[in-house]
Structure 1
Amino acid sequence: MPVIVKKGNGTFQQHIQIDNHSLVADVPVNLGGDDQGPQPHDLLAAALGSCTAMTIVMYAKRKEMALDDVEVSVSQTMIAGTHLFTRHIHYIGNLNAEEKARLTEIANKCPVHKTLTSTIQVVTDFS
């Protein structure tokens, strides 16, 4: 399913359509936008965080671990030309250190993490 992006209201706002779901992306006022939605890089960080959490929950359920909840925060910065995502995972539940370590290994196997750490190629056509 393609992701369709069209101009929204304001200078930079974009409406994003993904199947039956609608989102808005924008930039902050200090960058000339209207701050009506997250910036594109924040959407990328959100994809990593949400995929991480979903992958952990799926694995924990399958292994019947006592994971009550998981919270993932992702920050990002540029360092010497490298885009660095820093991910913090907070496990909630009666888990021992070994289970947390295993869940952290599994987090690195989420599809978005695998995509971001693989070779990425963007092909562009136009009409």
Structure 2
Amino acid sequence: MGPAPFEMVLAGLGACTTMTPRMYANHKGWPLSKVSVDLQHIAKGASDGKSDKFVRRITLAGELSDEQRERLLEIANKCPVHKALTGNLEIESELL
């Protein structure tokens, strides 16, 4: 049957979350040796106006200072997929 649709979304978010801080750390010359991400999709009731939640746990390996770790979290939150999912995403559909 293949992966569920939300698994595909999480795969994109996970890939973007690992790549973006790694590129930033490489550019800065920071000792980031590994980035790993654990993602979970939680379907919620719509009482709070949001029907789904993604939980993202990011592990940064390397001899990083607390300031570097915090900055890399900020950078992870700016990855293109994260920004699309948390912003005003517009989807245009047309029949062909």
TM-score (norm. length: structure 1): 0.69
What secondary structure sits across from 2:18 in the alignment? helix
Q: Distance in 2 between matches of 1:108 and 1:88?
A: 12
Helix, strand or coil at the partner of 1:54: helix
Larger Rg: 1
| SS class of match (1:59) | helix
1:105 equivalent in alignment to 2:70: no
Structure 1 alignment gaps of length 5 or more: 1-25, 27-36
Q: CA deviation at 1:40?
A: 1.1
Residues 43-122 of structure 1 mapped to structure 2, 5 A cutoff: 43-81=8-46, 82-122=51-91
Residues paired across the two proteins, number? 92
The structural deviation recorded for 1:120 is 1.9
Question: Which runs of structure 1 show a deviation greater than 4 angstroms over 4 or more consecutive aligned residues?
Answer: none
RMSD: 1.1
In structure 2, stretches of 5+ residues that fail to align are none
By relative contact order (CA 8 Å, sep 6+), the higher-ranking structure is: 2
Instruction: Please state which structure has a larger fraction of its residues in helix.
Output: 2
TM-score by length of 2: 0.89
Residues in 1 aligned to 2:89 and 2:70: alpha-carbon distance in whole angstroms: 28
Q: Sequence identity, in percent?
A: 40
How far does the alpha carbon of each residue in 1:15-56 deviate from its partner, in whole angstroms, 9 at most, with x for none? xxxxxxxxxxx3xxxxxxxxxx32111010110011010001
